[in-house]
Structure formats: structure tokens, C-alpha cells
Amino acid sequence: MRFIRFPKFRHLKNQLLFQHALGITFIIGLTALVTYTIAIHIQIKDAVRYNSVMVTQISKSIDNMVDSFNRVMDGVSFNNDVQSLLQSKYENDKAKNLLNRYLSSKVTDETMMFDEVDLIYLYDMESLRVNLRRSVNNNDYPFFKTLHPELYDESGKVTWSAEKSVITANRMIYDTNSYRMKVIGYLTMSMDKSYLQDRIQKFDPTEERHLIILDRQNNVVLSNSNDEELKRVTSWLSNSKNISTDEDSFIEIPKYGKMFVSTFKSNLTGWKIISLVSLNEISEGPALIGKSVFLIGILAIIIGIIFIWISTNYFVKPLNTLSLVMDEVEKDNFNAQVEIDRVDELGRVGESFNRMMNKINTLISDIYQKDINEKDAQLRALRAQINPHFLYNTLDAINWMAQFGKTDEVSKMTVSLSRLLKTSIKNNQELIRLEEEMNYIEDYMTIQKIRFQDKIHFSINIDPEANDCLVPKLILQPIVENAMIHGLEKKIDNGYLFINGNIKGNKLHIQVIDNGVGMDEHTIHALSEGSYVHLDEKQGTGNGVLNVQNRIRLLFGEENGLKIESNINVGTLFELILPVQREGFRNV
């Protein structure tokens, strides 16, 4: 279960609702899936069995009808009068017409009792002799006005075909008095399609399936639909490569999808009776069952969620009460108490919480003031370390200038130093505006420029909106001093010092950049940790940088502080990251 990750919720109640709803949905979904799978399997099995039986019954019905039709053709073919008239000679058209009327009369007598007969064509060895229409059929079929011997089997067997959308039975007529199987004529009789359709309709009154009859040449003899889509299906099925008469199977038909096919081949006619049922039709019943189960499942989920919501509310409400009180504690309201009027585990949790808060209040009363005094003492000690260090370096520079008799420079340096000391003593606040801090730096750099003449150049670029931000007093002076001593003072060429300040998001970023000799990784780490010791003690030990780091973290927390980046013979970047605070929000 370690790989299952549920969404994270802010409230336990929502999590319980989600998990229970997910469980109910899974159970109902699995039930619906299993039910549908079993139902569709049973439905397909029944459909296969019914389809096979129905196709077999249709084929038998057609065979019975064909057998009856064959007997009619036997009656005409073996009628003595018909045989005699077909062999009678005639001298002119009048005699021919008279013989044809006799022939028509005899053929009518033999076929009048069979309603399935539609058209009757009787030929002698050369031409059409009889053309009868049994139904009201005004269509003209010029194809049958000419004899087509290729339609007839030489053995005298009746052959069936579909010519020009007409279903015909064809047979050669032999002289029954001849032992040499002498052919004396040809008989073609068509079947009324409506009669055949009625037979098919008896087995499939719903017309939910496609019933198609193909002749030996895979021409469509009859189908139970004439729409354009079915014509495309029958055209596709007419290709013998697409359908097999060996067994029932499922096939994929373009634009129809998966369909179940049952086939049966008639021994009498050679026709293929094909039944096609869409899998969608077969699965309608199981799909309805699946939908019903799904709807029941949705209703069960809704009822279950309502029940779960009511039941979980009873358990979660005390936890919500406790959560609200804990929010108050996070806002430093340690006098908050929780009220849970229950005797179970949740009630005992509330009582334990109240006892814990009482103990915390006691500890705060005893320790809080002590911690404040200790923090204040640490800050004052750190600040005291900075001021003497700066004073020592400045006086050392004045002494050096006095030894060379540069009285004007000594005067300027002394004035700048006195202004720094006066401002530092006058302002007792721990936090000052960045603009005031930059005044300190300008006085300090005035002293350094006098000391190093034109070797040192510096510029200050502070974003106007950052000038009002509050920073710890004298926080930049140790960094600028470090850049001078460890970077620019050792540089042979001219040195440049840049101070940039801007606001990014809710943080104040102050960068002190020099192009001095740079530092290696060991020196950077030593400065950050306050363990750097130079051979010349007049140039400092690096404690100023460590003090800056400690002051920032004591005042603003571990997420703020000083970052150092440096490359040998390229320069060094010091970046202070402080929270944005202004005059109305001093917290020290």
C-alpha cells in the first residue's frame, strides 16, 4: 500500500469522505463490470445459438420452397402436350402464334396453383415461345427475350440465379421419348420476391439483424433491407474473401464495427444464407443492466456520502475545535483553552491539551524574560565588537597620514571619524534606515580614499524604494572594511568598490562588490566561520564578517544572512539578505 498516494486534504473530514466515496465507487464499479461481463457472455452465447438455428430454419424453408418450385418446373417440362408443341413445326407466323397460345395455355394449367411463380419464359431451340406474367409486374426485362444457354445445366438439373434483380430457376427440357437426351427447349421461371421475403420475415419479425442471400456467384439474391448502408455491407460481403461458410464467427465490417455472422449453404440451390447481427445489438441487454447497476451505484454513493458526512461530523468536530485553538496558540495566544464535552479518547485529548498549555504558560513566565535579556546582551556584545575594530583601523590610518605630514588629509579624516562616532553615539536604535547606514559608509570611504589617494574608486547605487528599509546599524561597515583590507589593499592596480541595493520580493538585497585579489574557498569558509587569522594583526582577523552573520541571524532568523562569492584575481561579492522592514514595523 506504500505506492498508493491519496490527495492531501486540509481537513480530515474531506479525506474520510473522499476515501469512503472512492471505496464505494470501486465496489459498485467492479460489480457493474463483472455483471456486464457475465451478461454479455451469456447474451452472445444465446445470440450465437439463436442465429445458427434461425439461419438453418430459413435455409430449410427456402429449400422446401425450392423443392416445390422444382416440382412445378417438372410438371411443365414433362408435360406431354408441352413436349409435343415444342417439337411441332410451323410454316408461318400465324401457325407459330397458334402454337404459342396452346403452349401458354398448357404452361398456365401446370403453374396456376403455385402462387410463388412470377415470370415464366419458355424457349425452343432458337427463340422465345412463351412469356407469362403471374403478378402485376410492369417491368420490362429485355434480358429474358433472348435465349442464354449458359444459364442451363446440361444434365437437366435446375439451376438458380439472380439475373437483373430477378430470382430465376432454369432448366433444360429433354425429349422424354428419346433415349439420347435430346434437348427440345429451355424453361426459366422467376420467383416472386415478396413470397421469399414473407418467408424470411416469419423468422425475423423484428428485423434487428441483416439477412442476406447470395447465389453461387455471390450476387445478392435477397436482403431484408434496401437502404444505402446495407447495400455497402452486401457489396462487401459479396467478395468471397470476406466471408466463410465453414463456421460462425465475428468479423469487422467497415462503418458497422464488429458483427456476428452465421452462414448456411443450401445443397439444393447452392445459395448462402447469411445473418449479421451487430455486437451493439447483442449487448443492448447487458448494457441496460450495466447502466441500471451504474445508476444504482451513483444513488448508493450519494446516500453513502450523506451518511458518512453525518457520522464523520460527530468525530471530526472536536478535532476542528482543537485545530482552531492550536491556530490561536501559533499566534502566541498561550492562554487559549479547548472545550470538548466528551468522555472518550477525544475528550481526554482536549484535557491533556489544556494541561499542556498551562505548563507552557508557567514556563514562559519563568524563562521568557530571561531569554530576552540574554538575546539583548548578545546583540550589544556583538555591536560592541564592531565599533572598536572600526575605530582601531581608522586611527591607524590617521597615524600613518600624520607621520607623512599630510595635515589636510588628517583633518578631513578626523572630521569624518568624529562625525561617524558622533552619529553612532547619538543613535541608540539597533535598526536604522538604509540611507543613514550609507552615510556611515560614505564617511568611511572618505577616510579610505584619503589614505589610498587615487588608487581606490567607489560608487553607491541604492534603489530609491530601498532607502527607507531598516537595517542593523553598522552592518555594512565590517563588510566594506573587509573588502578594503583583504581585497583592494593588496591589489597593485586601481581598485573599485560598488555597493548596490534593491528589493526582490519581500527581501532586501545589498551587494558589496570589489575587484580585488579575491579569496580561495578556504578563506571564504574561514571568514564565514570567524576562524580567519592574518599574519598581520593590524589587518584584522575576520571577526567582523562573522559578527555580521550572527547579528542578522539573531535579529531575523536563519533564513537571512550573508553570502560570499569570490574568485582569485577577479574579485569578491558580499551579499546581505534581509527582510523588508520599514519605520512603522520595527521589531527590535
Query: What is the C-alpha to C-alpha distance for residues 434 and 440, in angstroms, rounded to an integer?
Result: 10
Q: Can you tell me which residue has the cell 531569554?
A: 371
Q: Can you tell me which residue has the cell 440451390?
A: 269
Q: At what angle do helices 345-403 and 284-330 cross, to 10 degrees?
A: 60
Report the DSSP beta bridge partners of residue 462: 501
Per the CB < 8 A criterion, the answer to whether 32 and 293 are in contact is yes
Kindly state the helix (H) or strand (E) to which residue 538 belongs, with its residue range. Answer: none
Kindly state the helix (H) or strand (E) to which residue 32 belongs, with its residue range. Answer: helix 12-77
How many CA atoms lie within 13 Å of 194's alpha carbon, on the beta-carbon side? 5
Of 266, 268, 128, residue with least CA distance to 188: 128
Per the CB < 8 A criterion, the answer to whether 114 and 72 are in contact is yes
Q: Can you tell me which residue has the cell 559608509?
A: 441
Per the CB < 8 A criterion, the answer to whether 506 and 495 are in contact is no
Of 431, 430, 402, 404, residue with least CA distance to 417: 402
Of 224, 119, 83, 217, residue with least CA distance to 159: 217
Query: What is the C-alpha to C-alpha distance for residues 215 and 295, in angstroms, rounded to an integer?
Result: 48
Task: For residue 116, give the 3-state DSSP assignment.
Answer: coil
Amino acid at 464: P
**Tens place of pLDDT for every residue, the chain, 588 residues?**
444 555 666 666 677 777 777 777 788 778 777 877 787 777 777 777 777 777 777 778 888 888 888 888 888 888 888 888 888 888 888 888 888 888 888 888 888 887 778 888 889 888 888 888 876 666 677 788 888 888 888 888 888 877 766 788 888 988 888 777 788 899 988 887 777 777 777 766 555 667 777 777 777 777 766 556 556 666 666 554 555 544 556 666 666 667 777 777 777 777 777 777 777 666 666 667 767 777 877 887 788 778 777 777 766 677 777 777 777 777 777 677 777 766 676 677 777 777 787 777 777 766 655 555 555 545 554 454 445 655 776 677 778 778 877 777 778 878 887 877 776 666 567 788 999 889 888 888 887 787 777 788 889 999 999 999 999 888 888 888 888 877 888 888 888 999 999 999 899 999 999 998 888 888 888 777 655 555 344 455 556 777 788 888 888 888 888 889 988 888 999 999 999 998 865 543
Q: At what angle do helices 543-556 and 521-529 cross, to 10 degrees?
A: 60
Task: For residue 460, give the 3-state DSSP assignment.
Answer: strand
What is the model's pTM? 0.43
Residue 8 DSSP code: P
Cell for 154? 446440361
